[in-house]
A = this chain, B = another copy of it.
Amino acid sequence: MSSHWLERIRWNEAGLLPVIAQDADSGRVLMLAWMNREALTATVTRGEAVYWSRSRQQLWHKGETSGHVQKIKSIRLDCDHDALLLEVEQVQGIACHTGRQSCFFQRLDDHTWQTVDPVLRNPDEMYGL
């Protein structure tokens, strides 16, 4: 398999780039995470999103524990070659570790962050606690 396509990407000084995941059905932006070269290669090979966890410093197969896997529908690169957009099928419709559809659930209203999206699944249940 050619890896020529990987050469077009401009990784940052830490070897990462930001990746946006968008729900293919609803169009909702689900989350922003990071990938390195290994994570992107794994994502393409598996057909499911594999990110780089900056906090844990390891590959992170999204949904491995919770079951909330992201199946890849398309991968897009931006004009600067330093950001990716994934169109995904979000299994169970929940991307956030808080049990919400999207990680972007706090909206700025009159200079205050308001939580505007419901919890769809109990996080304790998601992670088998």
Select from chain B the residue with minimum beta-carbon distance to A3.
B111
Q: Is the CB of A77 within 8 A of B29?
A: no
* Alpha-carbon distance A2/B109, docked complex (angstroms): 12
Is A65 located at the chain interface by the 8 A CB criterion?
A: no
Per-position 1/0 for A99-119, Cβ under 8 A of B: 010011111100111000000
Is A27 located at the chain interface by the 8 A CB criterion?
A: yes
* Alpha-carbon distance A5/B106, docked complex (angstroms): 11
Q: Is the CB of A111 within 8 A of B18?
A: no
Q: Is the CB of B29 within 8 A of A108?
A: no
Contact of A113 with B29 at beta-carbon distance under 8 Å, contacts A75-B107, A79-B103, A108-B75 already known: no
A residues lining the B interface (CB < 8 Å): 1-5, 8, 18, 20, 22, 27, 29, 31-32, 44, 74-80, 83, 85, 96-98, 100, 103-108, 111-113
- Would you list 11 pairs from A and B whose C-beta atoms are within 8 A, ordered by A residue? A18-B18, A20-B29, A29-B29, A32-B78, A74-B107, A76-B105, A77-B106, A78-B104, A79-B97, A79-B98, A85-B104
Given contact pairs A3-B111, A18-B32, enumerate 11 new A-B contacts (beta carbons under 8 Å): A20-B20, A29-B29, A31-B78, A44-B111, A75-B108, A77-B104, A77-B106, A77-B108, A78-B106, A79-B98, A79-B106
